[in-house]
Structure 1
């Protein structure tokens, strides 16, 4: 099946230059369906420098229209983003340089601007290109995509355009953007979705990812994200609803090779939550709810989806390290229980073991920190006692001891600062 999908794609691509425009479009639609069915390895194998060279050659020889070339490239960019594949050959290609030049030239036109072409160019350039985009291009791309993303038209075609525009924005990394360039529009998109539920789950996740990525360069966003737009509560609800819709019992092998869209969106929410806990310093009343949702996902993933299971550990580790989040919130959200349960499984993945150890080491460190405030100190002691009792009940100390010989291996392979002292992973009273 793997060979046939790659072969079918390549055969259709070779036929493009011998077709008229309408026939090309039909073949490109077939190619899109083939790409959708590919797993990561298959998809990587077709993303070659020769592919982008041939597309550019067909454009220059007028054997393919720019519209059809963009149709194919937008599909490649869309699925590369969902499959988390970097398209480095496009970044180095002449096609990338040509698109950048065309974007600038289109904006400079005083008359007869082709708005649809500009949007398509921006999406291709940002989806397939480098995260490190120059300020001049950013100031063009962001408003252009936000205009599409702000559409209220709920037809299937319009909503697909909105989804691609928001997905493109979400993949622009941590580049520094002026708040005036995006915050009003992004806030309106989020609040409209909260009232009307008009966006796809992927589109809604993407708009949040774009906003949370701005934390690294704009700390003033925190109040808007926490107190006005309520990210934590929204993330908790989305995680739980997505987890209900994921088929956790899918068989391994060929069926698992292609991730369902729900799985991809769920993982992206976990990644965005991880960025949030890594940077946000404002207290939030919904912390318990999001930990409950992450714990639910962590249990559901078990051994059926190690990728999602692993990504559950990242926001939990960051939350422990974040001094704004109380360990008691992790306890009430059942995150402690979920990680303890996972440590007992006989088929544990070695990377998840390492992440669980890192989590408990951080929990232990936090609970050793005494508070000057009398009330908070009493809460710390009570939390410490509850976690100690849970650890005793689960036989946690014996579990940790069984990993002692492998701690050195973990340090060599994954994390050079992981303590070799077993007591550092325990909570004692």
Structure 2
């Protein structure tokens, strides 16, 4: 019995030409031969790539996964073809930054969890390719992952990601494995499962440029997401792998390639991948700036790159500019961040300009006040300028003039009535407005 169009309720879909065609192709899968199924899946893959986020989320439903599970169970859909479709869905889900629990609550998720555990327990006859495919689908399609399966998936996919053979097919396999691994959030992973391998992958790219841009960014994102739970990685990240310099180089590369002026069609195809890479780097930078205490001479270059990306993205890509701004706030308090460099590169100008916007969110207001509070406090410390009083006075004068020119006092006055309320609401320490001024 074939699936009818009624099996996927049209009420669950955002009805567009693409979603209707996807639904029709999906409903015909069950009655096809294996080669015909593959042809239809290839058509579905292309549709998934072209869909925007809303279209994609309308087809990304538990009911769809349950029906795939049923077709596999009844041998009406081969596991090979199912995996082909599911990997593309997981890939597009990541590119479009969809955040749903639909796969997690499906019968197919339970099937994959059992298969991963069973396949991993096999000794002599373990199917490494099948296990890798299952792990990739599992990590890409879910947002939160079972702690029991994490060690299995990491060990398996690190082997795939460590492949050094040349060729487009290997590059695709490596990219998919690293993208899947980069989806692991909010969980500590034992270093013996990944650290030597991920360091070798990153260092090998720095020497041979043997990864795609998405694969390289994904490798870093996987490692940085471990940093949040394991501060012992700091030296590896900063001094051995040179994250600060690499992030600056990559940001500059993508800054020049990306069209920041138009937001249309950016959720699809090549542009979606480029956007994901840029967001991945800015997110990783933001986390490193929040946690890291080790810095080196490469920091100035990264600061300049962050400011350029912030300015380029502020009109059409607020998520990116906000991550850049948050990185600058965190960077302002670091003892190795020289305040005069911070001023000369234009960071102060960004914050003064942002505070004049009428559309600021409450938490943004607090962040901006916190930034000027940090700057003001650091300007009072002579040791920040290595006791160079002339340099300290010149920097204070430069900041003061910028504040005066932009009408900082009037800007602050417009927020006085809400600051104490916001501090209480967001459980922040009270801010004395006068402390935010840099006085000569």
Confirm or deny a common fold (TM above 0.5). Answer: yes
Aligned-residue offset at 1:291: 1.4
Which residue pairs with 1:28 in the alignment? 41
2:94 is aligned with 1:94:
no
1:172-251, aligned counterparts within 5 Å? 172-250=184-262
2:160 is aligned with 1:157:
no
Residue by residue over 1:101-125, the C-alpha shift from the partner in whole angstroms, topping out at 9 and shown as x without a partner, is: 1111112212322111000001111
Aligned-residue offset at 1:314: 2.1
Q: Using the alignment, how far apart are the partners of 2:344 and 2:295 within structure 1? A: 16
Task: Name the SS of the counterpart of 1:62 in structure 2.
Answer: coil
Q: Using the alignment, how far apart are the partners of 2:332 and 2:369 within structure 1? A: 9
Which residue pairs with 2:299 in the alignment? 287
- 5+ long unaligned stretches in structure 2: 1-13
Aligned-residue offset at 1:283: 2.3
Aligned-residue offset at 1:342: 4.1
Which residue pairs with 1:350 in the alignment? 360
> 1:216, 1:279 within 8 Å by CA — same for their partners in 2?
yes
> 1:320, 1:366 within 8 Å by CA — same for their partners in 2?
yes
Task: Name the SS of the counterpart of 2:102 in structure 1.
Answer: helix
> 2:95, 2:272 within 8 Å by CA — same for their partners in 1?
no
Residue by residue over 1:337-384, the C-alpha shift from the partner in whole angstroms, topping out at 9 and shown as x without a partner, is: 333344456xx6434x85366234323234325547485354655543
Worse-matched range after superposition: 42-51 or 151-160: 151-160
1:310-329, aligned counterparts within 5 Å? 310-323=322-335, 325-329=337-341
Q: 1:380 to 1:31 in 2, by over 3 A?
A: farther
Aligned-residue offset at 1:95: 1.5
2:133 is aligned with 1:124:
no
> 1:131, 1:175 within 8 Å by CA — same for their partners in 2?
no
Q: Using the alignment, how far apart are the partners of 1:201 and 1:386 within structure 2? A: 40
Which residue pairs with 2:370 in the alignment? 361
Once superposed, what is the RMSD of the aligned Cα atoms? Answer: 2.7
> 1:40, 1:83 within 8 Å by CA — same for their partners in 2?
yes
Q: Could you tell me the TM-score, scaled by structure 2's length?
A: 0.87
Q: Using the alignment, how far apart are the partners of 1:241 and 1:52 within structure 2? A: 39
Q: Using the alignment, how far apart are the partners of 1:247 and 1:409 within structure 2? A: 40
Q: Residue 32 of structure 2: which of 12, 19, 23 is its match? A: 19
Aligned-residue offset at 1:241: 1.2
> 1:287, 1:329 within 8 Å by CA — same for their partners in 2?
no
Residue by residue over 1:264-299, the C-alpha shift from the partner in whole angstroms, topping out at 9 and shown as x without a partner, is: 211111111111111111122222111111110111
Residue by residue over 1:300-333, the C-alpha shift from the partner in whole angstroms, topping out at 9 and shown as x without a partner, is: 1231222322222221222234455444443244
Which residue pairs with 1:423 in the alignment? 434
Aligned length: 422
- 5+ long unaligned stretches in structure 1: none
Q: Using the alignment, how far apart are the partners of 1:199 and 1:374 within structure 2? A: 41
